[in-house]
Structure 1
Amino acid sequence: MRTIIVATDFSDIAENAVEYAATGASIIDAKIVLFNAFKLPLHASNTILSVENVQSMIDKNKLKLETRANDLIKRYDIEVAVDSSLLNVEDEVERLMKQYDAEMVIMGMAKRSLEQDLLGNTTTNVIQKLKFPVLAVPEGVTFKPVKRILYACDVVRGIHKTILERIKDIARSWNAEIEVFNVQEKIEELQEDPSFTKDPLKDEMTGIQYFYKNVASNTIIKEIRNEVVNYQPDLLIMVPNRYGFWSSIVHRSKTRMMAAGLDVPLLSIPI
């Protein structure tokens, strides 16, 4: 059985993602591991508490998680396990993905803000740091079958075969069409690169209904957002690029930037 990790802090945004995941799991017959990274209340962390008091708080939090899991089991008729920890989300998600041999983690995504653009949030940090597929579900978005997939990519950098096969598997499982959307910001490169004027995926997409579209623009994020509006996909897929420490100060991941403020789920698939 396929397993999906779903992280929640019990906020409205996170709980919307839980409902999204549960609906999808009921359709594809998947198991959910409901995870909460429990944090001690601020007043409690500033005082000296006994081991018993701390354990009591942890137990209450786990009971809340189990109650939520039982609600999902009854309403969606799916298998749900629970897991909680006092450690940070990034470290624990990595542990859970390996422990349960999960295929992805689903998290809620808050609306866009200047703070998120500059610093990110828990979901965008997981996208940027971890080498696992992350599905970011925007606030208020409910689950619906995937019929249109927008794959925003960079043909000049190359499309990893493993990534392409995974995207094709998703399309086959939902009988969905794919739009491969290539945006390049350096016009000079495009004029020299033959991949911009012809479809480089023609031989790779046999049996898949897809479209290939090129756009030359110096505002990549804006073009992808516009294409989301025009194409109306049920799922946006991007592959985050990895930057070193110093270059990350200057460069912000386009995948991370796209995650905040969308009205369509974003699946980030790392290489």
Structure 2
Amino acid sequence: MDSILVVTNFSKTSNNAVTYAALLAQQINVKLKLFNAFKLPVHVSNTRLSAVSIDALIEKSRERIKKQALKLSEKFNIKVEYECSYVDLERKVDFLMKSSHYKLLVLGMSAKSMEQNLLGNPTTTLISMKKFPVLAIPVNAKFSGVHKILFACDVMQDVPFRTLAKLKRISIKLKSEVTVFYVQKKIDEIISEKNAYKTIDQGLENVTHYYKKVNSDAVIKEIEKEINKSKFDVLVMIPKKYGFWESIVHKSKTRVMASGLNIPLLSIPIE
């Protein structure tokens, strides 16, 4: 994990994510970059502004993010870069993650709402892109180290070795233990468990890890119960890829969990 990119719009949720990312960068000794995709305020976008006026607003945001970067650098003794651009957020983040080889994207996680469940938000959109690891931080989550990771997955489906390798690197870097949590629906799934354990054991070699399963049809509900019952610091999930028709009718569990959690969600895409 060489460097972290964190997205901010200067809101309370974003500022909390920035502080969390700075503390994480400090612990693992990596560089942090702040990025703001400038948007015209709603009351301004409905008026006719000259190019000079828009440039002035952008410059104001640049000065704001510059001050934030300097403050973080001094407070946490880390290297902090910054950028503010009048661009499409998703497209620019995708470009930055690829061109600058950032290992992790961090951004704030909005509270759960009906509108969000139907339309999503920038966080769920970036997770849905399934191109890079995304760490979504709830507004009330505070960084105090990552000691316990809950890895919610379907062990009966192949967990790619490269995905496990990423989780392994993160766990070793943070000195975390991992609980592999899965919900069993069918009795005959027991037959395949040993092979699944073997793959995960190999992928998480040198990482302290445990297995926990429950019998239920309510996957999301069981994950939430486990988070509330045990004091985990981060939830890790793998966003699955679906075909066109499946994507219309299927509500991603990772996307659903990316709203209303009380601990950070780390989404590691399948490669």
Q: Is the TM value for this pair above 0.5?
A: yes
Instruction: State the distance in 1 between where 2:16 and 2:205 align.
Output: 36
Instruction: Give 1:103 deviation, angstroms.
Output: 0.3
Which is further off, 39-48 or 153-162? Answer: 39-48
Instruction: State the distance in 2 between where 1:203 and 1:64 align.
Output: 46
Residue matched to 2:90: 90
Instruction: Give 1:197 deviation, angstroms.
Output: 6.6
Residue matched to 1:128: 128
- Provide the identity percentage: 43
Q: CA offsets per residue over residues 161-213 of structure 1, 9 Å max, x none?
A: 0111111122222222111111244x2xx415512477343444443211112
Secondary structure, counterpart of 2:210 in structure 1: strand
Instruction: Give 1:14 deviation, angstroms.
Output: 0.6
Residue matched to 2:241: 242
Equivalent runs, 1:27-106 vs 2, <5 Å: 27-106=27-106
> CA 1:122–1:93 in 2, change beyond 3 Å: closer, same or farther?
same
Equivalent runs, 1:133-212 vs 2, <5 Å: 133-185=133-185, 187=186, 190-192=187-189, 194-196=191-193, 199-200=197-198, 201-212=200-211
Q: CA offsets per residue over residues 205-230 of structure 1, 9 Å max, x none?
A: 44321111222211100011111122
Equivalent runs, 1:225-240 vs 2, <5 Å: 225-240=224-239
> CA 1:23–1:204 in 2, change beyond 3 Å: closer, same or farther?
closer
Instruction: State the distance in 1 between where 2:194 and 2:220 align.
Output: 21
The one-letter amino acid paired with 1:209 is T
> CA 1:78–1:192 in 2, change beyond 3 Å: closer, same or farther?
closer
Is 2:214 aligned against 1:215? yes
CA contact (8 A) 2:37 2:85 kept: yes
Residue matched to 2:7: 7
Instruction: State the distance in 2 between where 1:177 and 1:35 align.
Output: 31
Instruction: Give 1:46 deviation, angstroms.
Output: 2.3
Instruction: State the distance in 1 between where 2:64 and 2:173 align.
Output: 34
CA contact (8 A) 2:165 2:204 kept: no
Secondary structure, counterpart of 1:227 in structure 2: helix
Unaligned runs of 5+ in 1: none
Secondary structure, counterpart of 2:254 in structure 1: helix
Count of paired positions: 268
> CA 1:270–1:204 in 2, change beyond 3 Å: closer, same or farther?
closer
CA contact (8 A) 1:146 1:234 kept: yes
Unaligned runs of 5+ in 2: none
CA contact (8 A) 1:21 1:106 kept: yes
Instruction: State the distance in 1 between where 2:189 and 2:34 align.
Output: 49
Instruction: Give 1:265 deviation, angstroms.
Output: 0.8
The one-letter amino acid paired with 1:166 is K
Instruction: State the distance in 1 between where 2:209 and 2:27 align.
Output: 24
TM-score (normalised: structure 1)? 0.93
CA contact (8 A) 1:94 1:130 kept: no
CA contact (8 A) 1:183 1:214 kept: yes
Secondary structure, counterpart of 1:93 in structure 2: helix
CA contact (8 A) 2:28 2:174 kept: no
Which is further off, 106-115 or 131-140? Answer: 106-115
Instruction: State the distance in 2 between where 1:94 and 1:82 align.
Output: 16
Question: What RMSD in Å do the two structures reach over aligned CA positions?
Answer: 1.8
Instruction: State the distance in 2 between where 1:214 and 1:22 align.
Output: 34
CA contact (8 A) 2:127 2:255 kept: yes
